[in-house]
A = this chain, B = another copy of it.
């Protein structure tokens, strides 16, 4: 497609955004190692030295992508959750927000989770950081429940399990895009709140207001 000769002159801030978008796209499709700076620059519509001038090395660029997308996601969840509600309602709104974000930002989720979790070193750190923020959120929700699990450590583990289940269900969802976000969220909600023991007896959890 290399049809254009010289790119339109644009202010740095705008170019940086374009480059970041292109980088997220390419990293999510090919993975960190298989992605090349040449391809990213081509997708971004500029030449390679611009990449290095603005965003530094390949590793720096990737880390920057991860941080940006992680922040976007945590903000989406934070604004979606409804505090001062019953624990189950809080959990429900959080799950809705999470799956809503993933559904509308599949590429972001890929580069954020699928790629970052497999590249060791500095990248995993960013991910771990975001995950632990999410875990603390859920753990707080659990300990706040009246008859909470005995130890604080126990709550943390359960929260980690739930967050892990969410991550992994989102991962699974990538391969089954036909399901709507609400359905996936409700499924996980039922699983973790009611448990199979209740579900096989026909006891299901319902959101407070049917839409």
- Taking Cβ atoms with an 8 Å cutoff, the residues of A that contact B are 31, 33-34, 87-88, 91, 114-115, 117-119, 128, 142, 145-149, 157-158, 160-162, 164-165, 167-169, 171-172, 175, 187-188, 191-202, 205
Contact = CB atoms under 8 A, between A and B. Distances in A.
18 contacts: A87-B200, A88-B197, A118-B118, A142-B200, A145-B196, A146-B200, A148-B200, A158-B191, A161-B172, A161-B187, A162-B191, A162-B196, A164-B171, A165-B191, A167-B168, A168-B171, A193-B197, A194-B195
A147 B192 contact: no
Copies in the complex: 2
Given A33-B31, A164-B171, A187-B158, A197 B198 contact: yes
Contacts of A117: 114, 171
Nearest to A32: B33
B161 A191 contact: yes
Contacts of A195: 191-195, 197-198
The CB with the most chain B CB atoms within 10 A, among A34, A117, A200, is that of A200
A85 to B, nearest CB: 15
A92 to B, nearest CB: 12
Contacts of A192: 191-192, 195-196
A161 B187 CA distance: 8
Contacts of A119: 31
A200 B194 CA distance: 11
Nearest to A172: B164
A119 B33 CA distance: 11
Contacts of A91: 196
A82 B149 CA distance: 30
A202 B142 CA distance: 13
Contacts of A31: 33, 118-119
A111 B99 CA distance: 28
A197 B146 CA distance: 11
Contacts of A187: 157-158, 161
